[in-house]
Amino acid sequence: MTNLLLDYIRGSISLILFNLLISLSYLLVAPIIINSLGFSVYGSYLLIISTIPIIIAILSFGLGFIGRRKLPSSNNIASLTLNFFPQFWSRLFILFISLLIAYLIFIFFEDFLKLYLGFNFFLILPFVLLFSFFDQFLDFFRFTHRITFYSFMSACYALGSVGLIYFLLEKEIISNLSDLLLVNLFILSILNISLFLKIVSEIGFKVKFYENKKAIIDDLKVGFPAVLNNLNETFINIGDRYLIGWILGMAAVGFYTPAYALASLPVIFARTLTGVLPPLLSKMHDDRDYTLRDIVLRVCLKYFIHLALGYFLICVFLGNEILEFYINEEFAFKSINVYLIISFSAIFAGVNLVFSNLFVILLKTKFMLKTNLLSFVINLILNIVLLYIFEDIVVAAITTLVCFLLVFWFYRLELKKDLPIILPLKDIIRVFSYLLFSTIFFLVMDNFLNLNLLSAIGCFILLLLIPVLVTMRYDFKSIKQQIRA
């Protein structure tokens, strides 16, 4: 278990770094697209690439949930094949039929869609297919303890597409939304070929479906609520952008989304944990090592809360300067309130994501579904009503905060039995003491040295990371002691 934990720690570090690179790449390409093609094109592009994973999730119907749950404990080719290929081919069959129907609909409404959408909408079909392959191939490596490789390939897609978009925009080869989508298709094609060849070299190539109807039904019973739950979380995260685009226009999406993404940087850490923790916690839970499972979860929560609260303080003190440096003064003026509100809500969004790992291990997907469905409905109603009344993107940020707080409250009530204490009192005191000291020290330094923006951000981040690096050794020591016990 110690070696496995070490592998996951290394994988977690690499995943955090790669995810940080991915997020930074998307953040850096935003001003380039905006300045070259406009806020409206950028807003439309974001909505499309955000919608593709949603379409794939819906068309999976939750198939593969049990297979992915068993992959971490699969220790031979036969079990790996049994847990991967049936769901792969079943999902591919459903996807193929769905895309064929979509193609016929597109043909029938072609003239209307050309007039309304303004881009080559047929590109969506191969995009969905290629991204589905990519998603399933990556899951195979994630759930077979290859976290570093999984994070590397995820980064290759993001950095490859963003880098190529940047290069082609600089050369003035890209001129519209369709060109942006073609870049993504090109990168996905290359990566899918390499991933497919690697999987075939490891477990072979077999056309294998579910053995009987009961296996399909069992998978749907657990997997479909999990899919709906993830969709609810996704719509809470990005659903407001659809409503903003519909009610206020695509330019408003261009102002809202970059500020939202920049404010949500700490959630990278939490999302990294959702990629790393499920296989690790599954192993601990299956071995009935519940104490170790809870220690690992609490350590992750402590570090996330520390980083998220620290980032919120950076936003409070340096937010306007950051947004102005990021794009321009107009963007900073219109987006600063969104930036501050979302940076605070990111604390609860990340904690909810960490909690969700335990719910998945406990197979409490129906509870997550009910909670997030309620939150989604409230989010939808508030956004529709308040956006029409106030016509301001700040409204969407406030409703997002309300929904994350609501989900946090219900998650905490449900976890009182399985995780009575989120963090020990001494850890809470330490986190707030470190943050208070870092803030005071930063304000004193800034007052005497008159730091520029980049120096100020670097100084604050360093002050936040020092206590994390110091205490990490002691936390890992306590985990090793529990393993030996």
Q: How much is the pLDDT for 341? A: 93
* Cβ count near 1 (within 10 Å): 16
Q: How much is the pLDDT for 62? A: 64
- DSSP for 357-370 reads HHHHHTT-HHHHHH
Better-predicted residue by pLDDT, 387 or 51: 387
Cβ atoms of residues 352 and 401 within 8 Å: no
Q: Percent of the chain beyond pLDDT 90? A: 2
Domain parsing of the chain, residue ranges = 13-211, 228-485
Which own/partner contact pairs does 341-344 have at CB distance under 8 Å and 24+ positions apart?
341/263, 341/394, 341/397, 341/398, 341/400, 341/401, 342/259, 342/260, 342/263, 342/264, 342/397, 342/400, 342/401, 343/263, 343/264, 343/266, 343/311, 343/312, 343/315, 343/319, 344/312, 344/401
Mean of per-residue pLDDT scores for the chain: 75
Q: What angle do CA 183, 185, 191 make, to 5 degrees?
A: 105
Counted residue by residue, the chain has a size of 485
Q: How much is the pLDDT for 239? A: 67
Q: How much is the pLDDT for 236? A: 63
Give the amino acid at 96: F
Q: Which of 26-35, 352-361, 404-413, 443-452 has the highest mean pLDDT?
A: 404-413
Q: How much is the pLDDT for 156? A: 84
Q: Which two tokens stand for residue 356?
A: 């969700």
- DSSP for 244-262 reads HHHHT-HHHHHHHHHHHHH
Q: Mean of the pLDDT values across residues 163-172?
A: 82
Residue 7 pLDDT class (50, 70, 90 cuts): low
Rounded Cα–Cα distance for residues 395 and 238 (Å): 14
Q: Percent of the chain beyond pLDDT 70? A: 66
Better-predicted residue by pLDDT, 43 or 67: 43
Q: Which of 203-212, 241-250, 347-356, 395-404 has the highest mean pLDDT?
A: 395-404
Q: Mean of the pLDDT values across residues 446-452?
A: 69
Q: How much is the pLDDT for 344? A: 92
Mean pLDDT is lowest, of 269-283, 419-433, 471-485, for: 471-485
Q: Decide if pLDDT at 15 tops 70.
A: no
Q: Mean of the pLDDT values across residues 176-205?
A: 84
Better-predicted residue by pLDDT, 160 or 7: 160
Tens-digit pLDDT profile for residues 353-376: 888 877 777 777 678 778 877 888
Q: Which of 228-232, 324-328, 402-406 has the highest mean pLDDT?
A: 402-406
Q: How much is the pLDDT for 234? A: 64
